[in-house]
Amino acid sequence: MSIRPWRDITRRQSRQIMVGNVPVGGDAPVTVQTMTNTLTTDVKGTIDQIRRCEEAGVDIIRVSCPDEESTVALKQIVRAARVPIVADIHFHYKRALEAADAGAACLRINPGNIGSAARVQEVVNAAKANGCAIRIGVNGGSLEKDLLEKYGEPCPEALVESALDHIKLLQDADFHEYKVAVKASDQFLAVAAYQQLAEVVDCPLHLGITEAGGLIAGTVKSAIGIGSLLWFGIGDTIRVSLSAEPEEEVRVGYEILKALGIRTRGVRVVSCPSCARQGFDVIRTVEKLEDRLKHISTPLSLSVLGCVVNGPGEARETDIGVTGGGNGKHMIYLSGVTDHTIDDDAMVDHVVKLVEAKAAEMEAAKAAAEVQAAE
């Protein structure tokens, strides 16, 4: 389907950097990140969590390195991960040196927090020697004292000034492979800060509404904050911060991108809220289908509507559709066309099989097209 003018998002043109083998910025797809919450020294637990995030489609994962034991563990974690790892350093520059040597693709460190220019230069040298990017992460909750005194409270200008101060330290050390975040738990503050920053820098921007809350409240807040910025064309990589498992953050990240039509992954379910007209239990059916179709990464659409009021119309716009009918028999649509009926008790298994078959067919067609293009 072609992009209609009222759907078009003009993306801010940023400079592209590489985080491992993943491009961030420029015309690269907006990437989805998360962060592990296991002890980094628990190598197996951390790798298991990274696997679950990889299955959910994560592009880049951040891992905390608060001590030397963690940077030792990081080496094994980096080797096992299929996606680039960002080492979260915060204050101790030696952890940054160790993490760069351990194979981190990016260091999350604020150069203004680590002391002298000589230390910044050491970190930059280690990043350059190991092909690491750096992510500057300004946070409304931990702004520098002098900026708080100057501005009186965390405000967009203070976040931007902090970011520019950190950026200058990297530029003075002749380092340019960086991306920047100016996060705040207040989405109004974060959005205003990102908008101001986007006007004055050309580096990629890492978006986030920090400490957004639990799964539902945090998702809504992140969708408003991150979603608004992406809608304005601002943002090259995102991390949704939820008090929920990291793989949930990845799923929510993709849902934000999917809702804006920026990136697609997996099954996009169109479903009704249900009402007395429903021919089957829509809510339970959608729950089961979402759970059983989590493993599908091929972008395709599925409509699940309780009755014929809106069912045929939505089914026309989706790859596979099901609409509740009478007598425990429901209508199945394939590529928008009425195809066959299915009994109520067999419906979920049947739809899962149809989606899996459609995904396999689409993957095969894509592979064939790639082979043809290469010839």
Which residues are near ligand SF4 by CB under 6 A?
272-275, 277-278, 305-307, 309-311
By C-beta, is 225 or 311 nearer to ligand SF4? 311
In whole angstroms, the minimum distance from the beta carbon of 224 to ligand SF4 comes to: 25
Distance between CA atoms of 135 and 87, rounded to whole angstroms? 10
φ and ψ at residue 260, rounded to 5 degrees: -90, 0
CA distance 247 to 323: 31
State the Cα–Cα distance between residues 271 and 315, nearest whole angstrom.
Answer: 10
CB of 326 to ligand SF4, least distance (A): 13
- Residue whose CB is less far from ligand SF4, 66 or 336: 336
**85/302 with CB nearer ligand SF4:** 302
- Minimum separation from the CB atom of position 259 to ligand SF4 (A): 20
49, two tokens: 């969590």
Q: Which is nearer to ligand SF4, 86 or 307 (CB)?
A: 307
Q: How far is the CB of 314 from ligand SF4 (least distance, A)?
A: 8
Question: What is the spatial distance between Cα 357 and Cα 355, in angstroms, rounded to a whole number?
Answer: 5
Q: Which is nearer to ligand SF4, 132 or 305 (CB)?
A: 305
Residue number, nearest CB to ligand SF4: 306
Q: Which two tokens stand for residue 122?
A: 């050491």
| Closer of 114 and 305 to ligand SF4 (Cβ) | 305
Amino acid 279 reads: G
CB of 278 to ligand SF4, least distance (A): 4
Q: Report the amino acid identity of residue 162.
A: S
CB 93 within 8 A of CB 114: yes
DSSP state of 184: B
Shortest Å distance, C-beta 255 to ligand SF4:
21
Place of tokens 């050491």: 122
Give the residue ranges of DSSP H helices in 205-280.
215-231, 246-259
